[in-house]
Amino acid sequence: MMKADGNLLATEASCKSCPLYHAAHMKKLGVDMEDWDYVVALAGNPNTGKSTVFNALTGLHQHTGNWPGKTIARAEGGYAYANKRYKVVDLPGTYSLLAASVDEEIARDFVLFGQPTVTVVVVDATRLQHNLNLVLQVLEITDRVVVCLNLIDEAIRHGLRMDHRRLARDLGVPVVPTVARSGVGLAELSRAIHEVATGKIICHPYRVQSEPPELKQAIKTLTEKIEKALPDLPNARWIALRLLDGDERIATALRKGELGDLRRSTVGETDSPRPADEPTEKALVEEILASAQSRRSTIGYNVHERYVEAIYTDAARLADRAVTLADEKPRFDVDRAIDRLVTSRIWGFPLMIGLFAFIFWLTISGANIPSAWLSALFIDTICPMLREGAAAVGLPWWLRGLLIDGMYLTVAWVVSVMLPPMAIFFPLFTLLEDFGYLPRVAFNLDNIFKKAGAHGKQALSMMMCFGCNAAGIIATRIIDSPRERLIAIITNNFALCNGRWPTQIILATLFIGGLFPSPLAGLISSAVVVGVTILGVLLTFAVSWFLSRTLLKGEVSTFSLELPPYRPPRFWQTIYTSMIDRTIFVLWRAVVFALPAGAVIWLVANVHIGNVSLAQYLIGFLDPFGILLGMNGIIILAFIIAIPANEIVIPTVLMLIVLVTGAGDVGAGAGVLFEPESESTLKPLLASGGWTLLTAISVMIFSLVHNPCSTTIYTIYKETGSVKWTAIASLLPLVLGIVLTFFVAQLWRLLAELG
């Protein structure tokens, strides 16, 4: 505490002398945003650094990543500046606010109806022209705008010189150059926000000028009508435009009086909507709508098109004035050279597979040692201490069993097995993501997805699934065709998630890598894991193909994906945040689910019906079915117990083997999830449970292809809102897994009989 205060003082002292003194006025508030004074909305094209700005202002850890569509739900946080409390809302990235997609609608509705005091448009300085489209649209909706000219460092790297003062003059609103990632310019940004919010700066926003004359005339007449009827509206011109474009959402809002909220006078106040209840106002609104409708039929129906053309004409002119190329002579363009290589016909795919294989290899070979340390710590050292402590306190045996042997040990196993691979895999993956490689993968795979009748962006949601399927399901929101989005949701489960990597890695190492001499073993094991991953991807294609020809018939929709510029990631920063954001988050989830599962395992093993325990009874019941699939009753039961969290399949299997085969001296008793000290005891133990090479292969296949975990199922239900599709998404992989393992097992046995 003392130390933190000291630091703060020191900063303040050193800042007093510098021109950025107002930085000390700023305080990050995280999610604590009770009684805010002002609301700030962060809008912008995808991938311009909105979430980075959001994190820098609020001190939160919203996911960032160098690919479009990373932020899908809107995030909220808070900060204080000059004794005023600000609530910040990070909106999904959009190219436009003309509401062509769900994302745009969310963003537009918030800027329009959410009454933000100030809207900050985060702009990529290296793509100013492209980004100004959105800026000009926002300027039509609201006056109180600050433009955050982000990624200035990248602009400099590309030899661009930005004249932000001229841009500010042209746009009529403050323009603040920033490098959000390293916090440069954020103090100025919050000051600009403050000054606009408190009315110290009055904006005179730029209005689009290049509309064709007949459209301009129509807008003008309608705007005058609206201004006369509803003098409070700050954006009559924009409303006129939307009405001319036949936007019913705006017409409805006008009828209900929802747009009245935007009255200039209500800076910072939050009063309730004022319905247009006076009969005169109602009549006036109807008259405006009728007049818009009739004008629509005379000026034609392509208002949207002509307006967008006008915006871009203006944007090009404004950007030309603000940006100059510092050195004219073309330099060797590294970014382009990398792009050529990673998308090349010859090298594109081998590079992709090689890169992922390398990551898996690092994960597999790097995770062993820390895994052993962790299990030594949690299981060999802490566990006996806990047992002794519990005995000393005098807890009854069943409570001790439930708490320590059931819950604690399950969690300990999950942590020691999952943490090391995740702590290696996630940062590496995040580095790739930050660099901007993943959209290139989607770009390369697009043609295959198209042939399978799916959307190219499914490659991106699949990437997310490799981390966590539930996150991948949410990421499918970037796919705007409902048909193809459902395909992506149903096939999500074929991408191995965190919970299943350990299963694959352990089995591949023990049963397949173990067949080879030691220098080869590691390579072979990672090749097997890559093979399983590719099998999953192939299944994704096959099932997508099947669905797009049967249940989800339809033509492939189109695909437009921005390939973001490469941005050199900041190595340590990335590693740190990915540990905090992802590793800890996923681990926490696993632990939360492993806790009750541990209790269930212990109970199943200790509740007796007559002479047999419930576990033995269930295993006997499931055995014939399991054997048909090349597995056994124990494994099936383990998969059932592990529905909440895939990561506990193997621990559950081990515990149940001990229980049934009576190999009690290895473990610690009924229902105890133990960690055999090294792999050498793990394999004999599995073998004593009847495991063969076929069993291992069947478990690997079934772990790849079975029902999603309960969190994922719930997420699917939330995203689709349909019991039918949730059921299909859960059962289709399960049935497919049963069929696959059945055929593998029977063919294997048939061949074994013959040979």
Partner 1 sequence: MPDPLASLTLALAIILFLTVIFWPTFGLINQWKRHQRTSIRVLTEDALKHLYKAEVEGRGATLQSIAGTLQIGIERTTSLLAYMQRGGLVTWEEGRPQLTSVGRHYALHIIRAHRLWEYQLADQTGYGKTEWHALAEHREHELTRDDVSELSVKLGHPRYDPHGDPIPPASGHLQTHGGKPLMTLAVNQTGHIIHIEDEPETVFAQLVAEELSPGMDVRVLDKTRERIVFWADGDEHILAPMLAANISVVPLPNADRSKFFNTEHLSDLKPGEQARILRLSHFCHGAERRRLLDLGLTKGTVVEAELASAGGDTMAYRIRGALIALRSEQARLIHITRLRAADAP
Ligand X SMILES: Nc1nc2c(ncn2[C@@H]2O[C@H](COP(=O)(O)OP(=O)(O)O)[C@@H](O)[C@H]2O)c(=O)[nH]1
Please give the residues from 625 up to 644 whose contact with partner 1 meets the rule CB under 8 A. 627-628
Binding site for ligand X (CB under 6 A): 44, 46-52, 64-66, 70-71, 93, 150-151, 153-154, 179-181, 434, 567
Residue range at the interface with partner 1 (CB under 8 A); choices 23-31, 218-226, 303-311, 401-409: 303-311
Measured between alpha carbons, how far is 413 from 676 in angstroms, rounded to an integer?
10
Contact of residue 65 among Mg ion, partner 1, ligand X, none (CB under 5-8 Å per partner type): ligand X
* 3-state secondary structure at position 162: strand
Near Mg ion by CB under 5 A: residue from 71, 126, 525, 712: 71
* 3-state secondary structure at position 168: helix
Binding to partner 1, residues 481-500 (CB under 8 A): 481-484
Total number of residues that touch partner 1 (CB under 8 A): 75
Contact of residue 694 among partner 1, Mg ion, ligand X, none (CB under 5-8 Å per partner type): none
Residue range at the interface with partner 1 (CB under 8 A); choices 175-183, 534-542, 703-711, 738-746: 738-746
Nearer to ligand X, 183 or 531 (CB): 183
The number of angstroms, rounded, from the C-alpha of 280 to the middle of its chain's C-alpha atoms is: 49
Closest-CA residue to 59 (of 178, 216, 186): 186
Count the neighbouring beta carbons within 10 Å of the beta carbon of residue 294.
Answer: 9
Q: How far is the CB of 271 from partner 1 (least distance, A)?
A: 28
Q: How far is the CB of 47 from Mg ion (least distance, A)?
A: 8
Q: How far is the CB of 478 from Mg ion (least distance, A)?
A: 12
Return all residues near 702 (Cβ < 8 A) that are at least 6 apart. 629, 631, 635, 639, 737, 740, 741
Near partner 1 by CB under 8 A: residue from 345, 394, 396, 665: 345
Residue range at the interface with partner 1 (CB under 8 A); choices 90-98, 369-377, 654-662, 673-681: 90-98
Measured between alpha carbons, how far is 149 from 56 in angstroms, rounded to an integer?
15
CB burial readout 553-587, b (16+ within 10 A) else e:
eeebeebebbebbbbebeeeebbebbbebbbebbb
Measured between alpha carbons, how far is 752 from 750 in angstroms, rounded to an integer?
5
Q: How far is the CB of 216 from partner 1 (least distance, A)?
A: 17
Measured between alpha carbons, how far is 635 from 653 in angstroms, rounded to an integer?
6
Measured between alpha carbons, how far is 622 from 650 in angstroms, rounded to an integer?
17
Q: Is 610 left (phi over 0), alpha (psi -120 to 50) or beta?
A: left
C-alpha R_g of the chain = 30
- Residue 51 as a binder of Mg ion (CB under 5 A): the answer is yes
Measured between alpha carbons, how far is 720 from 380 in angstroms, rounded to an integer?
45
Count the neighbouring beta carbons within 10 Å of the beta carbon of residue 156.
Answer: 15
Nearer to partner 1, 348 or 421 (CB): 348
Q: How far is the CB of 561 from ligand X (least distance, A)?
A: 14
Nearer to partner 1, 400 or 483 (CB): 483
Binding to partner 1, residues 456-475 (CB under 8 A): 456
Nearer to partner 1, 311 or 713 (CB): 311
Q: Please report which helix (H) or strand (E) contains residue 148, including its range.
A: strand 145-150
Residue range at the interface with Mg ion (CB under 5 A); choices 36-44, 50-58, 460-468, 690-698: 50-58
Stretch 312-341: interaction string toward partner 1, x if CB under 8 A = xx-xx-------------------x--xx-
Nearer to Mg ion, 71 or 150 (CB): 71
- Which amino acid belongs to residue 467? G
The token duo for 139 is 């300027």
Chain position carrying tokens 């921005």 = 562
Q: What is the DSSP letter of 289?
A: H
Contact of residue 153 among ligand X, partner 1, Mg ion, none (CB under 5-8 Å per partner type): ligand X
Measured between alpha carbons, how far is 439 from 457 in angstroms, rounded to an integer?
8
Q: How far is the CB of 256 from partner 1 (least distance, A)?
A: 14
Q: How far is the CB of 581 from Mg ion (least distance, A)?
A: 13
- Residue 742 as a binder of partner 1 (CB under 8 A): the answer is yes
The token duo for 406 is 């059931």
Q: How far is the CB of 67 from Mg ion (least distance, A)?
A: 10
Query: Which residues lie across from 78 on neighbouring strands?
Result: 30, 87
Contact of residue 151 among partner 1, ligand X, Mg ion, none (CB under 5-8 Å per partner type): ligand X
Query: Which residues lie across from 121 on neighbouring strands?
Result: 43, 147
Nearer to partner 1, 349 or 516 (CB): 349
- Residue 503 as a binder of Mg ion (CB under 5 A): the answer is no
Near partner 1 by CB under 8 A: residue from 24, 184, 448, 521: 448
Near partner 1 by CB under 8 A: residue from 195, 232, 562, 677: 562
Count the neighbouring beta carbons within 10 Å of the beta carbon of residue 279.
Answer: 8
Q: How far is the CB of 457 from partner 1 (least distance, A)?
A: 10
Near partner 1 by CB under 8 A: residue from 275, 354, 389, 554: 554
Question: Phi and psi for 77 in degrees, rounded to 5?
Answer: -160, -175
Q: How far is the CB of 246 from partner 1 (least distance, A)?
A: 3
Contact of residue 308 among Mg ion, partner 1, ligand X, none (CB under 5-8 Å per partner type): partner 1
Q: How far is the CB of 434 from ligand X (least distance, A)?
A: 4
Residue range at the interface with partner 1 (CB under 8 A); choices 169-177, 297-305, 492-500, 640-648: 297-305
Return all residues near 508 (Cβ < 8 A) that are at least 6 apart. 525, 526, 528, 529, 532, 700
Measured between alpha carbons, how far is 435 from 93 in angstroms, rounded to an integer?
19
Q: How far is the CB of 560 from Mg ion (least distance, A)?
A: 19
Strands 160-162 and 323-325: antiparallel
- Which amino acid belongs to residue 118? V
Measured between alpha carbons, how far is 474 from 281 in angstroms, rounded to an integer?
43
Q: How far is the CB of 56 from ligand X (least distance, A)?
A: 9
Helices (H), 629-709: 633-641, 649-661, 679-688, 693-704
- Residue 722 as a binder of partner 1 (CB under 8 A): the answer is no
Asked whether the beta carbons of 228 and 241 are under 8 A apart, the reply is no
* CA angle (189 as vertex; 188, 195 as ends), nearest 5: 85
Near partner 1 by CB under 8 A: residue from 349, 397, 516, 621: 349
Return all residues near 617 (Cβ < 8 A) that are at least 6 apart. 609
Contact of residue 426 among ligand X, partner 1, Mg ion, none (CB under 5-8 Å per partner type): none
Q: How far is the CB of 164 from Mg ion (least distance, A)?
A: 23
Measured between alpha carbons, how far is 726 from 59 in angstroms, rounded to an integer?
36
Q: How far is the CB of 165 from ligand X (least distance, A)?
A: 20
Binding to partner 1, residues 219-278 (CB under 8 A): 245-248
Nearer to ligand X, 134 or 547 (CB): 134
Residue range at the interface with partner 1 (CB under 8 A); choices 93-101, 272-280, 516-524, 713-721: 93-101
Diameter of the chain measured on Cα atoms: 92
Closest-CA residue to 403 (of 391, 419, 415, 418): 391
* 3-state secondary structure at position 121: strand
Residue range at the interface with partner 1 (CB under 8 A); choices 69-77, 257-265, 446-454, 708-716: 446-454
Q: How far is the CB of 678 from ligand X (least distance, A)?
A: 40
Residue range at the interface with partner 1 (CB under 8 A); choices 437-445, 464-472, 570-578, 674-682: 437-445
Question: Phi and psi for 30 in degrees, rounded to 5?
Answer: 60, -135
Q: How far is the CB of 54 from ligand X (least distance, A)?
A: 7
Nearest residue to Mg ion on Cβ basis: 71
Nearer to ligand X, 45 or 726 (CB): 45
Query: Which residues lie across from 41 on neighbouring strands?
Result: 89, 119
Binding to partner 1, residues 113-132 (CB under 8 A): 126-130
Residue ranges in contact with Mg ion by CB under 5 A: 50-51, 70-71
